Structure 1
Amino acid sequence: MAQHTESAVVIEAPAEAVLDVIADLESYPTWVKGLQTVEVLTEDEGWADEARFLLDAGVIKDDYVLRYTWDVEEDSTGVVSWELVRAQNLTAMDGSYTLVAEPGGTRVTYRLAVDLRMPLPGMLRRKAERSIVETALTDLKAQVEGTTR
């Protein structure tokens, strides 16, 4: 990812609980704003390999496919990354979650690079990325902590 936006949050739950929520792609529409549907297209040893997303987030609407890489340890720490395979309006949707165990929880760092077919000034693109990243981390934290309490 050449230009990306990155942020981190500590979630008060073990890495296993965080990874379980991240890996349950098909439940994303219940807690990720703008996602209409998610369909796992292929799996590799129980992990989603490719998934199709239908997004309607106001300005950005798309039907796209992501390819996932699950570089995680037995303790559920590590990196979950994805790259755009195909889309109608996006030209990039590449990112990652990095999970690191900490006392009292899991530090999750989210990196994201997004680009659209239509021209968008760099400042607006970065602002949109920041909004997506911050919202994703806030919603992930709420989802994980809500299911582990």
Structure 2
Amino acid sequence: MADRTSSSITIKADKAAIMGVIADYPAYPEWADGIKAAQVLSSHPDGRPELVRMTLASGPISDTYTVRCHWSGDEELRWDLAEAGAVVSGMNGRYALTGAGGGTEVVYELAVDVKIPMIGMFKRKAEKIIIDAALKGLKRQVEK
């Protein structure tokens, strides 16, 4: 899983407000295209999610898998696959937040492996579509 896809967006809010929306996994179906359900299975001592079961339904792919979250304050969230699904066999990603003149720049990186054969170019294009939709949804949710 060496290849990662990334994109960024600037949101008119501080890091804490943005990370608050990112940390609210049960609300993902409201703003994250393709996420049908997200259930927090366990939390870190500070209350932020540690293990989250995600249900994805995007185009022809439907799957349920579990991610493990690693938080660095309001600056970064990293996650990796804790339990594979029927289709998703590997995943790691990250949101990185930095101040950007009157707002916050949010960088989203993602690498996904699937159990079905997929040419690298198509896989990266699918990751890019997921990332761009997530960033636009996050911006709408934070700025509303």
Report the alpha carbon displacement of residue 60 of structure 1 after superposing the two structures with TM.
Answer: 1.7
TM-score (normalizing by structure 1): 0.92
Work out the percentage of aligned pairs sharing the same amino acid: 39
Tell me the distance in 1 between the aligned counterparts of 2:130 and 2:60.
Answer: 13
Report the alpha carbon displacement of residue 93 of structure 1 after superposing the two structures with TM.
Answer: 2.1
Q: Are positions 1:111 and 2:112 aligned together?
A: no
Within the candidate set 83, 87, 101, 2:99 is matched to 101
Tell me the distance in 2 between the aligned counterparts of 1:131 and 1:106.
Answer: 21
Report the alpha carbon displacement of residue 58 of structure 1 after superposing the two structures with TM.
Answer: 1.7
Specify the SS of the correspondent of 1:84. Answer: strand
Q: C-alpha deviations, 1:41-89, integer Å up to 9, x for none?
A: 00012010000011111222101000000012xxx2x210100111221
Q: Are positions 1:62 and 2:78 aligned together?
A: no
Tell me the distance in 2 between the aligned counterparts of 1:143 and 1:122.
Answer: 31
5+ residue gaps in structure 1? none
5+ residue gaps in structure 2? none
Matches within 5 A, 1:40-59: 40-45=40-45, 46-59=47-60
Report the alpha carbon displacement of residue 105 of structure 1 after superposing the two structures with TM.
Answer: 0.6
Correspondence for 1:32: 32
Specify the SS of the correspondent of 2:16. Answer: helix
TM-score (normalizing by structure 2): 0.95
How many residue pairs are counted as aligned between the two chains? 142
Tell me the distance in 2 between the aligned counterparts of 1:40 and 1:21.
Answer: 14
Tell me the distance in 2 between the aligned counterparts of 1:143 and 1:81.
Answer: 20
Q: Which runs of 4+ in 1 moved over 3 A?
A: none
Within the candidate set 125, 128, 145, 2:126 is matched to 128
Tell me the distance in 1 between the aligned counterparts of 2:33 and 2:133.
Answer: 9
Aligned amino acid, residue 21 of structure 2: V
